[in-house]
């Protein structure tokens, strides 16, 4: 069953901010096309649905994308046009207020059968923590493109 939801601009901003912070890259089909449903019945068109795929990518794969580096937003132009800077700033502010102890609790709660070693859990925690400061400037730049 497909999960279809209409989202407000603020909800879309939260979605993009969260995806960018976690580096969720599974929003594309194998052919590289974005999983988007766009309502073209009105002008301008509007984004109606994003198919998430219900999975995280890089950050949860041990040894994957935990090296840091510049944050690169991975969302399509159509979505960028549906976002506003105030909504995006608000979403980034929400992420920046997540208590570090809550992040640590979250990372420690990953099931043991995932086979994530303690040093990898620490790398995930460091990854999530370090990316928060760069999130808002990165997304502001992306909105201006």
- Give the model confidence (pLDDT) of 69-81 as tens digits: 567 676 777 677 7
Q: Determine the Cα–Cα distance for residues 65 and 57; give it in Å rounded to an integer.
A: 9
Any idea which residue has 């929400």 for tokens? 94
Cβ atoms of 104 and 122 within 8 Å: the answer is: no
- Any idea where the domains of the chain sit in the sequence? 9-144
Question: Is pTM beyond 0.75 here?
Answer: no
Residue pLDDT, tens place only, 98-111: 999 999 999 999 88
Long-range contacts of residues 58-61, Cβ cutoff 8 Å, at least 24 apart: 58/23, 58/24, 58/25, 59/22, 59/23, 59/124, 59/127, 59/128, 60/110, 60/114, 60/116, 60/124
């Amino acid at each position: 069953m497909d999960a279809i939801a209409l989202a407000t601009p603020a909800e879309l901003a939260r979605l993009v901010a969260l995806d960018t912070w976690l580096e969720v890259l599974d929003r594309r089909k194998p052919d590289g096309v974005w999983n988007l449903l766009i309502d073209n019945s009105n002008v301008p068109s509007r984004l109606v649905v994003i198919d998430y795929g219900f999975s995280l990518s890089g950050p949860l794969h041990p040894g994957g994308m935990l090296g840091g580096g510049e944050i690169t937003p991975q969302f399509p132009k159509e979505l960028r046009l549906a976002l506003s800077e105030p909504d995006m700033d608000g979403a980034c502010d929400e992420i920046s207020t997540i208590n570090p102890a809550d992040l640590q609790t979250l990372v420690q709660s990953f099931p043991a059968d995932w086979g994530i070693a303690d040093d990898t859990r620490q790398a995930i925690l460091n990854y999530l923590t370090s990316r928060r400061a760069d999130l808002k400037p990165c997304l502001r730049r992306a909105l201006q493109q």
